[in-house]
Structure 1
């Protein structure tokens, strides 16, 4: 589990083909590896990956063909900047939102322009993910917990403050046309499951006088 607050950036040192998939080696002088163990999880551009090797300033992960196909990791090149976050601890300050590191799809930066000191960005996300987003809700983009300014159909509008642009890959690699990893708010996914997917027999029957309906949730901003 992660928070979407980037701890450090790293650099792609190597992408090694191994029997049809990839071993990705990422170098970072700022992340700190004194508390890292084999099998630990590190979110790399928002993708939860398992450490299979590490040293004083690098770690290696194996990336399956499934992950390659469903994320933007296949866009990485040697030298690219990658957002990094180690799995949260029970004592970690929860500064972002609940992030699983399970990428839901790939978005495309469709607009990017300066807006006073911040950067205004529009990202086109897969249509099937649009109903999980909401204006002033949370979304994870390349592992970064961000607040949506506005959602128009499947376009997510964001404002990136100078600090965030500086300490992540946004100010280094994001351009119009860039592909980014998208993880929607996990709460929205579970809410949909509870409302539409769960078998009736697995749920306590609602009170006949209950006013909590799908229409009520939609009217109060819980559904989009």
Structure 2
């Protein structure tokens, strides 16, 4: 379980293909403190740490993960958002984030609002995934609040701190991001679809 509050950034050092899987070697300030078998969110995708070498840790993405996320697009030098799982006695600052990416979305607009930015993302409607204004959404693992909601797109406002401390600063129009919709909204949508 995660909260969507990004702990630090990691840099892709090396990528290896292994059949249908991909191994990622990531350098970060928390890598040396991780443990084998620990769950860590990488751009919103919960991956298990399988190796550690000083300040570099290794994780593996399977085919199912690569299909539903943007991890297959990563290359050496790319920056990813990292968050360790939330301790049971920890502060819950974001919202309930499972680390199970539902699908990807495309950045279609970035608007400078003199100090903050509004990012608009468009996604293919499927599986009854929805957003609501003032509701929660996870973009590349970041817990954000929806400010505009349409059937296949939404916008979020980004403060300077978030832009500086996450990889949203690297996002440009047409870039692909990972989306995890609010778990409560997903349950409500499922229940409503069963009533039809």
Q: Could you state the TM-score of these two structures normalised by the residue count of structure 1?
A: 0.83
Distance 2:175 2:152 in 1: 16
Distance 2:150 2:186 in 1: 19
Cα distance, 1:24 vs. partner? 0.7
CA RMSD of aligned residues (A): 1.7
Q: Could you state the TM-score of these two structures normalised by the residue count of structure 2?
A: 0.94
Flag structure 2 segments of 5+ consecutive residues without an equivalent: none
Distance 1:143 1:3 in 2: 9
> CA separation of 1:130/1:179 partners in 2, compared to 1, >3 Å: closer, same or farther?
farther
- Aligned to 2:120, the other structure's residue is in SS state strand
Cα distance, 1:167 vs. partner? 0.3
Cα distance, 1:129 vs. partner? 5.9
Flag structure 1 segments of 5+ consecutive residues without an equivalent: 199-213, 215-224
Equivalent residues in 2 for 1:3-152, closer than 5 Å:
3-29=3-29, 31=30, 33-34=32-33, 36-128=34-126, 131-152=129-150
Query: Which structure: greater strand fraction?
Result: 2
> CA separation of 1:107/1:130 partners in 2, compared to 1, >3 Å: closer, same or farther?
farther
Structure 1 or 2, whichever has the larger Rg, is 1
Instruction: Choose from 154, 179, 184 the match for 1:182.
Output: 179
- Aligned to 1:135, the other structure's residue is in SS state coil
Aligned residues: 196
Cα distance, 1:131 vs. partner? 4.8
The 8 Å contact of residues 130 and 154 in structure 1, kept in 2 or not, is answered as: no
- Aligned to 2:35, the other structure's residue is in SS state coil
Cα distance, 1:191 vs. partner? 2.0
Distance 2:116 2:64 in 1: 35
